[in-house]
Amino acid sequence: MNKKSLALGEIGVAMLATLLAGGLSELGARFEIRGADAIQQIALFLVLMKCYPERLANQSGITPLLFSIFTGSLLGAVWILAVGLPNLGNTKFPAATDFSAVDIALGVLTAGVAAPLFEEKVVRQLMLDGLSRLVGRFASSLVTSAAFGLLHANSMLWACFASLLLCFCALRLNMTSVQRAIAHGICNILILLWYLTGGLGLSG
């Protein structure tokens, strides 16, 4: 298989996986299946890992893990400073009675584990790798991050910024999908914690 065919194949699979995930999410919501998003995202991630195994899976050990934790914590802190605090007065935080322990557990599972695994595999491995073969690393990072931002319309600029950093981690630091998902998940959990605690108690 030549370079162009391989690239188009990766991009096609990424788009198909995204459409499939969206369709399954709609079905889960229609039939009110709790945890449907987490289940389908993890299932799709496992299938994609089988079909497209990580070429850099030998990067194990404590140092990459610590770097993933640091990166995720940094992203979360930047979000709080750049997005959370400036919008503190305009944010409608949920009351403690609005959610149960099961809701919190599912939220952490979906935002902290399932979505990061799926998105890192699809967006910043398959899509990014495919585009980089066609247009180069820099342009592929911009296109991938712009697309990621469009999928997160409520926080488009932030999503683009976070995606650019994660693209750098993928292309320059050779971090695997799982390593990036750890960073992505920690960031998401910190953002979730911000909302669940009324802006870490700052909303009054």
Residue 134 clears pLDDT 60, i.e. is over it: yes
Please tell me the distance from the alpha carbon of residue 182 to that of residue 164, in angstroms, as a whole number. Answer: 16
pLDDT value, residue 1: 66
pLDDT tens-digit map of 17-42: 999 999 999 999 999 999 999 999 99
**Measuring CA to CA, which residue among 20, 24, 172, 44 is closest to residue 117?**
44
Residue 55 clears pLDDT 80, i.e. is over it: no
- CA distances 33 to 38, 111, 116, 117, 185, Å, are 11, 17, 21, 21, 23
pLDDT average, residue stretch 133-156: 94
pLDDT value, residue 156: 92
Please tell me the distance from the alpha carbon of residue 35 to that of residue 39, in angstroms, as a whole number. Answer: 6
pLDDT average, residue stretch 54-77: 85
pLDDT tens-digit map of 106-119: 999 999 999 999 99
**Measuring CA to CA, which residue among 186, 57, 53, 177 is closest to residue 122?**
177
pLDDT value, residue 59: 64
